[in-house]
Amino acid sequence: MEADYVIVGAGSAGCAMAYRLSEAGKSVLVVEHGGSDVGPFIQMPGALSYPMNMKRYDWGYQSEPEPHLNNRRLACPRGKVIGGSSSINGMCYVRGHACDFDHWRDQGADGWGYADVLPYFKRLENWHDGGHGGDPGWRGKDGPLHVSRGQMANPLTRAFIEAGGQAGYELTPDYNGEKQEGFGPFDMTVWQGRRWSAANAYLKTALKRENCDIVRGLVQRAVIEEGRAVGVEAIVGGQTQVIRAREEVILAASSINSPKLLMLSGVGPGAHLAEHGIDVVADRPGVGANLQDHLELYIQMAASQPVSLYKYWNLYGKAWVGLQWLLGKAGPGASNQFESCGFIRSDAGVEYPDIQFHFLPIAVRYDGQAAAEGHGFQAHVGPMRSESRGSVTLRSADPADDPVIRFNYMSEESDWVDFRKCIRLTRELFEQEAFAPYRKHEIQPGRDVQSDDELDGFIREHAESAYHPCGTCRMGRADDPGAVVDPEGKVIGVERLRVADSSLFPRITNGNLNAPSIMLGEKMADHILGKSPLPPENAEPWMHPEWETAQR
């Protein structure tokens, strides 16, 4: 049990690194606690609400009671299966805004500005526009990750984009191209009707090479001798053993498990480790700090016509959708049904979008509970850059114990102001002419919920995580006491140990985190191999010419 590189976690970044390192001739062992991704619940895009709620595929984490959300414990699903969270997520593909990465760079993540990361987004993508237009010059055409678009066959999906235009917002042919701001078609990691996870895109190809293998095991900690990582201690087949790394140990275990493993290995806030009787190898107060996420609300409308996906929401309907998918990878099951979206600014003076909409042509919760009212539609909406910060800490020194996850959601007054705007701006969209043929009444929050206090009560009771945790091992300069890794992913204070996953994000990006997580794995692979990074591309993103004085 030895390799040049031991990667902990077969998730979005881990799969990309396994592919690139093995492609370069290095021997790679990926250690993953979860099992196979075979089966329709994962591979069928339309079944996305199932794997996220299955113990077999999900670590099953929950937050501690959230004080600003009526002490609710919110679900924090993380993929426990090959492909990691890319095998259980909603398959939405969003790079993030150019300004997000420039902010990373300005915060000390040198070499991670938009010009630096754009070539890696292109390298990873195989983009199919599906006839909906787009920005081919900004997109990749021959990468391992297929990115496609839905058919937009449902009239509600098209009405959402039209309503955005009627409300005075920009339209964009490609929010992953030059212009993120506006309403347009949604990209998804789906190819030929199947979920195109990081496992399908990267790992399965890598595992066909003789120098790449996967081990089913639960990693307990990194083994650090005299200040350098030499391997990982893992339970494999019921036995504890050390898997040795000749070159480096790379943690790609998620923004929840990577900080946990660092702390169990003696890297983290010294006093916290001492509390649990763990010897301190490197006192890094930033480990487990800076936890961020996106919260969202579902604004739901009842439909006046039977046009929504609710017609499949019964035993026969689901059987029919399943059959179409099994026989021909076709029908509603071949799409994640997030086929139109929007990115807008909440106010004049906000430089780039800080609100995201996912539109869905059915009124349903993420756990698959449909609205009792039957036909409907909804927009998931939430602020992109909350100022609230939380933490991941150890419950005990026992690796079998779940970590303590405190998001501290809605702890800043600005979050409440932003969320109220989100609700009011969504209502305004649904009032547009495009929805007139389909609009019946508002299911949630309901027409009587109008004042700030009433909206706040709704937010406290109904805000849900969008499942985008990140930031808990943030990258920065080596002299930054809050940074955990340097801009090459090297853990500050320990040799031959890296972290490469969404825990490195200094600040959460605009939109869903799968695309930037894969990009990070791609770019880190070049750093690990000691290659010169791809040459920067100084593409100029579209910014609203009147952003200082106009909201739209």
What single string gives the DSSP state of each residue in 294-305?
-EEEEEEEEESS
Is 219 annotated for ligand binding? yes
Give the pLDDT mean for 87-109: 98
Identify the active-site residue in 272, 380, 468, 544: 468
For residue 66, give Cα distances in angstroms to 72, 229, 334, 388.
Answer: 6, 36, 36, 12
Query: For residue range 531-547, what is the model confidence (pLDDT) as tens digits?
Result: 999 999 999 999 999 99
Q: Could you tell me if residue 133 is left (phi over 0), alpha (psi between -120 and 50 degrees) or otherwise beta?
A: left
Give the pLDDT mean for 178-200: 98
Neighbour-count burial for 304-341, b at 16+ CB within 10 Å, e otherwise: eeebbbbebbeeeeeebbbebbeeebebbbbbbbbbbb
Q: What is the pLDDT of residue 131?
A: 81
Biggest CA pair distance of the chain: 70
Copy the structure tokens of residue 303: 């439909």
Contact indicator for 183, 145 with CB cutoff of 8 Å: no
Confidence of residue 550 (pLDDT cuts 50, 70, 90): very high
Q: Where are the alpha helices (DSSP H) in 24-172?
A: 40-43, 98-106, 114-124, 155-166
**Among the listed residues 376, 374, 381, the one whose alpha carbon sits nearest the alpha carbon of residue 362:** 376
Q: Please state, in angstroms and rounded to a whole number, the distance separating the CA atoms of residues 257 and 142.
A: 32
Q: Please state, in angstroms and rounded to a whole number, the distance separating the CA atoms of residues 386 and 412.
A: 8
Sign of the alpha-carbon torsion through 90, 375, 377, 294: negative
**Among the listed residues 294, 341, 268, the one whose alpha carbon sits nearest the alpha carbon of residue 93:** 341
- Whether the pLDDT of residue 328 is over 80: the answer is yes
Is 147 annotated for ligand binding? no
Residue 68 bears catalytic tag = no
- Whether the pLDDT of residue 437 is over 70: the answer is yes
Copy the structure tokens of residue 519: 């990009």
Contact indicator for 502, 470 with CB cutoff of 8 Å: yes
Q: Where are the alpha helices (DSSP H) in 12-70?
A: 12-23, 40-43
Confidence of residue 66 (pLDDT cuts 50, 70, 90): very high
- Whether the pLDDT of residue 369 is over 80: the answer is no
- Whether the pLDDT of residue 130 is over 90: the answer is no
| Residue 548: alpha-carbon gap to chain centroid | 30
Query: For residue range 20-63, what is the model confidence (pLDDT) as tens digits?
Result: 999 999 999 999 999 999 988 999 999 998 898 899 999 999 99
Q: What percent of the chain has pLDDT over 70?
A: 99
Query: For residue range 257-283, what is the model confidence (pLDDT) as tens digits?
Result: 999 999 999 999 999 999 999 999 999
For residue 500, give Cα distances in angstroms to 125, 144, 269, 445.
Answer: 19, 19, 20, 39
- Whether the pLDDT of residue 371 is over 90: the answer is no
Give the pLDDT mean for 493-505: 98
Q: Count CB-CB contacts under 10 A for residue 451.
A: 10
Contact indicator for 143, 534 with CB cutoff of 8 Å: no
- Whether the pLDDT of residue 372 is over 80: the answer is no
Copy the structure tokens of residue 328: 């021909």
Query: For residue range 454-487, what is the model confidence (pLDDT) as tens digits?
Result: 999 999 999 999 999 999 999 999 999 999 999 9
**Among the listed residues 466, 386, 454, the one whose alpha carbon sits nearest the alpha carbon of residue 424:** 454
Phi, psi for residue 35 in degrees, rounded to 5: -110, -150
Q: Is residue 522 exposed (0-12), middle (13-18) or buried (19+ Cβ within 10 Å)?
A: buried
SS in 3 state form for 456-511? Answer: HHHHHHHCEECCCCECCCCECCCCCCCCCECCCCEECCCECEEECCHHHCCCCCCC
**Fold held by 1-64+75-148+186-288+469-530:** FAD/NAD(P)-binding domain (3.50.50)
Instruction: Tell me what the pLDDT averaged over the chain comes to.
Output: 97
The DSSP output letter for 389 is -
Q: The domain 151-183+295-383+410-462: what is its CATH number?
A: 3.30.410.40
- Whether the pLDDT of residue 366 is over 70: the answer is no
Comparison of pLDDT for 133 and 323, the residue scoring more: 323
Q: Please state, in angstroms and rounded to a whole number, the distance separating the CA atoms of residues 259 and 485.
A: 11
Contact indicator for 217, 236 with CB cutoff of 8 Å: yes
**Among the listed residues 475, 14, 39, the one whose alpha carbon sits nearest the alpha carbon of residue 207:** 14
Give the pLDDT mean for 432-444: 97
Q: Fold identical between 1-64+75-148+186-288+469-530 and 151-183+295-383+410-462? A: no
Residues in the chain: 552
For the chain, what are the domain ranges?
1-64+75-148+186-288+469-530, 151-183+295-383+410-462
Q: Count CB-CB contacts under 10 A for residue 25.
A: 10
Q: Please state, in angstroms and rounded to a whole number, the distance separating the CA atoms of residues 309 and 374.
A: 10
Phi, psi for residue 173 in degrees, rounded to 5: -75, -20
Query: For residue range 201-225, what is the model confidence (pLDDT) as tens digits?
Result: 999 999 999 999 999 999 999 999 9
Q: Please state, in angstroms and rounded to a whole number, the distance separating the CA atoms of residues 529 and 51.
A: 34
User: What single letter denotes the amino acid at residue 319?
Assistant: A
Contact indicator for 350, 421 with CB cutoff of 8 Å: no
Query: For residue range 380-407, what is the model confidence (pLDDT) as tens digits?
Result: 999 999 999 999 999 999 999 999 999 9
Query: For residue range 406-435, what is the model confidence (pLDDT) as tens digits?
Result: 999 999 999 999 999 999 999 999 999 999
Q: Where are the alpha helices (DSSP H) in 226-268?
A: 254-264
The DSSP output letter for 395 is S
- Whether the pLDDT of residue 238 is over 70: the answer is yes
| Residue 36: alpha-carbon gap to chain centroid | 21
Q: State whether residue 352 is helix, strand or coil.
A: coil
